[in-house]
Amino acid sequence: MMVSFIIYITSLIMIGVGIAILLSSKNLIKYVMALEIMFQAGNLLFFITSISKTPPLAEPRATMIILISVEACTLAVFLSIILVLYLRFRSLDVSKLRKLRW
Amino acid sequence: MIPSLTYENFSLVFIFSLIAPSVIIAIARVVSREWAERYAPITSLFFLALALTLTIYLNPFKLVSLHLSTVTIKAGYLSKLLIDPIGAFFTFFTLLTTLIIVIAMLHTRGYYSEGKGEIALMFSILHLSLLGILLVYLSSNLLMLFVSWELMSICIYTLILARREHPLMIEASIKYLILSSFSSAFLLYGIALLYMVTGTLTLNPKAISTVTVHTSNIKLLILGLILTSIAFSFKAAIVPFHTWAPDVYQASLAPLSAYFSAIASKAGIFGIIRIITSYWPLISRIGVIKNTLTYTFTAMALTSMFIANISALLQENLKRLLAYSSINHMGFTLLAISCLTPLGFVAAVFHSFNHALTKALLFITCEHFELIKGTTNLKDITGIGRRTPTIGVPLALGFLSILGVPGLNCFLSEYLIFYALVQAKQYIPLSLAIANLTIALFYYLRPLNIICIRRQSEEKSRLYAGIVIALFILCSICILIGVYPKPIFNWLNNIKIFLEQILTLK
């Protein structure tokens, strides 16, 4: 019970950190890191569900493995589009993208 | 007569018809770029027609009779796909609209990208994203929903970047990428919370009605529902999560904007409907959740209608104006959902359908302007509708339809939404929605005046066969539904019967 509570608090902190980086940073690579942290916060919750019973459940762990691979795909596409941006503009700063405005 | 096909075989054939075009086109591109570029649209069209024919087997009437009998919802679970009347309806109109959009893309090679063979890749990715969207409609558990959601999102990031060197497209893609990927992180967290509380990933309301929730977990349940709804409303572009929509719809190519606005944003609306109907046994058991959801959705819907309408008044670009109109209508749909009654959900489903058809129509006319002039700024396309009535008449029809003129399709669904609001006794949102329709009058009639009524001395512009055919089909469907809505109302009535069954589960 104590362990799962600590993990739960950790996952909440991780979500908070992710949102804080999203709001404060302008660097795209930091966004990638924040995204990864937020995805892992979700995975931790699955882990809590897995250890809530004895013996530990297998279904949440299988789910976690599928989710990790899906997240890897998302991050790969994210990084490749960042690369396209970098090759065109030579910058990773989001605040310089200001053409599409009214 | 329809030849018989078991549901297991059906889902195999259906998913094959969705995966096959993307694989075939990708392989063809490796073999011969010339060949792939020439035949990609035809291949795509063929498989879309096949899939659309197969939706006959989704058979809404039979499904409802199955639900009505003692077998109930379990019969809707067919080889890992949850096929219910709402999902069947969304699948049907998604395939129909995509088919028409692909027809509009037939005769316009070279417009989509500079490189040779790029159009083949684009069609391949388009079909993958379509697969993702349709699997969202047919997914039976939250894990499958998340995976198909990510498939859809990833493909859309790359679709926006149709021309790799184009600075506006890169910017739109990055903006969408950041917001959308963070929304998927929220979705994952929400799913994890729901799983922690209920101990199951299923989306079957019958199975969820057997779950008991400890009183200390109610807050987590609310948080999970709100987080998943937020993630879905990101995709549906509802205020305050709408900031990507005008940029993306303006920057990407017009037929792809049609695809995003008419089809991809409906996945968000569907997600909200699905998560509420599936978790309805828990929501109805605990009154707090019901009120929280109603208030949240009403507030989001009304703010998105007001902000979108007021921003749309100031736009000079037709595609950006249509994007704000799209946000407005998504808010309108969410307002129907916020009633949390069967009629409200049916109105939302019907409005999604009508909005998909009409927005596809308007964005396809934008494609014509882009091909002729290379831009959709209102001052550059003045008077084109008057010179070429083949484009001008459908454009006017689309604007009138989306305005809610009686006799065209959107009027019926807007009427249904108002009726649902009256039935749910939500008079203040109702009056604010009617006020919004009045504001909408101004920004719909202004481009109509500029494009279709103002004179500009200019020779007749050339026409593209694909665009004309697509516009003709869409116009005839819009008028047909407006004049003779009986078949579609029969179908909606079945959805209503199904929803009434679900919403009585305790």
| Per-residue model confidence as pLDDT tens digits over B384-441 | 888 888 999 999 999 999 998 999 999 999 999 999 999 999 999 999 999 998 898 8
Are the beta carbons of B185 and B229 closer than 8 angstroms?
A: no
Residues B98-102: what's their mean pLDDT? 94
Does residue B68 surpass a pLDDT of 80? no
- Positive or negative CA dihedral for A60, B156, A17, B294? negative
Single-letter residue type at B455: R
Residue of chain A nearest B154, judged by CA positions: A74
- Predicted ipTM of the assembly: 0.96
- Among candidates A22, A74, A100 on the partner chain, residue whose Cβ is nearest the Cβ of B184: A74
- Among candidates B192, B314, B316 on the partner chain, residue whose Cβ is nearest the Cβ of A42: B192
Cα dihedral B230/B234/B240/B245 (nearest 10)? -170
R_g (Cα) of chain B, nearest Å? 22
pLDDT at B60: 60
Q: Which of residues 233-292 of B touch A (CB under 8 A)?
A: 246-247, 250-251
Contact: B178, A94; criterion CB under 8 Å: yes
pLDDT at B121: 87
Q: How far is B346 from chain A (nearest CA, A)?
A: 33
* pTM of the full structure: 0.93
Q: How far is A25 from chain B (nearest CA, A)?
A: 12
Contacts of B186 in chain A (CB under 8 A): 38
Residues B123-146: what's their mean pLDDT? 91
Selection from B6, B135, B141, B19 nearest residue B75 by Cα? B6
Contacts of A18 in chain B (CB under 8 A): 182, 185
Single-letter residue type at B308: A
pLDDT at B110: 63
Does residue B77 surpass a pLDDT of 50? no
Tokens linked to A7: 């993990």
pLDDT at B72: 35
The size of the A-B interface in CB pairs under 8 A is 110
- Among candidates A34, A48, A85 on the partner chain, residue whose Cβ is nearest the Cβ of B174: A85
Q: How far is B335 from chain A (nearest CA, A)?
A: 27
How far apart CA B260 and CA B88 sit, in angstroms, is 20
For B41-68, what is the HEC assignment?
A: HHHHHHHHHHHHHHHHHHCHHHHHHHHH
Does residue B380 surpass a pLDDT of 90? no
Does residue B69 surpass a pLDDT of 60? no
Burial label, B30 (beta-carbon count in 10 A; 0-12, 13-18, 19+): exposed
Contacts of A52 in chain B (CB under 8 A): 196
- Among candidates B153, B192, B316 on the partner chain, residue whose Cβ is nearest the Cβ of A45: B192
Number of H helices and E strands in chain B, helices first, is 22, 2
Are the beta carbons of B444 and B367 closer than 8 angstroms?
A: no
Contacts of B322 in chain A (CB under 8 A): none
Tokens linked to B51: 């899939």
Single-letter residue type at B444: Y
Cα dihedral B185/B187/B191/B193 (nearest 10)? 70
- H helices of B338-426, in order, are 342-373, 384-387, 389-403, 409-423
Does residue B106 surpass a pLDDT of 80? yes
Mean pLDDT of chain B, nearest integer: 87
Mean pLDDT of chain A, nearest integer: 90
Q: How far is A55 from chain B (nearest CA, A)?
A: 15
Residues B71-90: what's their mean pLDDT? 62
Q: What are phi and psi of B108, to 5 degrees?
A: -125, 55
End-to-end CA distance of chain B: 40
Residue of chain A nearest B185, judged by CA positions: A39
Residues B258-264: what's their mean pLDDT? 94
Residue of chain A nearest B193, judged by CA positions: A45
- Among candidates A15, A67, A78 on the partner chain, residue whose Cβ is nearest the Cβ of B181: A78
Instruction: Point out which residues pair with B81 in neighbouring strands.
Output: B78, B139
Lowest-confidence pick of B5-14, B71-80, B101-110: B71-80
Residue of chain A nearest B248, judged by CA positions: A100
pLDDT at B99: 95
Contacts of A94 in chain B (CB under 8 A): 174, 178
Determine what percent of chain B falls in helix, strand and coil, rounding each to the nearest 5.
80, 0, 20
Q: Which domains does chain A show, CATH number per domain? A: 2-96 (1.10.287.3510)
Q: How far is B324 from chain A (nearest CA, A)?
A: 12
Does residue B487 surpass a pLDDT of 90? no
Does residue B25 surpass a pLDDT of 60? yes
Q: Give yes or no for B146 touching A (CB within 8 A).
A: yes
Selection from B136, B132, B137, B130 nearest residue B151 by Cα? B132
pLDDT at B154: 94
pLDDT at A102: 57
In this prediction, the residues of chain A whose per-residue pLDDT falls under 50 are none
Residue of chain B nearest A77, judged by CA positions: B154
